[in-house]
């Protein structure tokens, strides 16, 4: 796949609502455009995004062809304990891209 960028606060207070942001560089080809050879460019989109916090899924989204290239996703979660936030993107071909970030809760 491509390069993923994630933005997670390094530290938060217990119970604080924090904003999580994630973006992946991906063309999100719908399959409707015609290439220079006159044939449709095959569909290639990210179908699913999921985020886990210490192994528990806290956010997920199913994506469709109407989503722009390089999709940016932002959401909030409640910081409960220090740990790892993992991000997973899965495309039409079944390939996955992962990223992770640590958060310290004090």
Sheet containing 17-24, strands listed edge to edge, beginning at the edge strand earlier in sequence: 4-7, 17-24, 72-78
- Sketch the domain layout of the chain as residue ranges: 4-29+45-105
- Structure confidence by residue, pLDDT tens digits, 67-84: 899 999 999 999 999 999
Under 8 Å between Cβ of 73 and 89 = no
- Structure confidence by residue, pLDDT tens digits, 40-49: 999 999 999 9
Fold classification of 4-29+45-105 is Immunoglobulin-like (2.60.40)
Which of 13-17, 30-34, 80-84 bottoms out in mean pLDDT, i.e. has the lowest?
30-34
Q: Which of 89, 73, 65 is nearest to 1 (CA)?
A: 89
Cα 62 to Cα 65: distance, rounded to the nearest angstrom: 11
Task: Note the pTM of the prediction, 2 decimals.
Answer: 0.91
Cα 81 to Cα 66: distance, rounded to the nearest angstrom: 36
Cα 60 to Cα 53: distance, rounded to the nearest angstrom: 12
């Amino acid at each position: 796949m491509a390069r993923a960028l994630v933005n997670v606060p390094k530290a938060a207070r217990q119970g604080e609502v924090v904003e999580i942001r994630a973006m992946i560089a991906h063309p999100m080809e719908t399959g409707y455009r015609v290439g220079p050879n006159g044939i449709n460019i095959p569909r290639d989109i990210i179908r699913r995004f999921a985020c886990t916090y210490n192994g528990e899924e806290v956010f997920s989204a199913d994506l469709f062809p109407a989503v722009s290239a390089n999709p940016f996703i932002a959401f909030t979660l409640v910081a409960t304990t220090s740990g790892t936030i993992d991000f997973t993107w899965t495309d039409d071909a079944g390939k996955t891209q992962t990223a992770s970030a640590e958060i310290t809760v004090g």
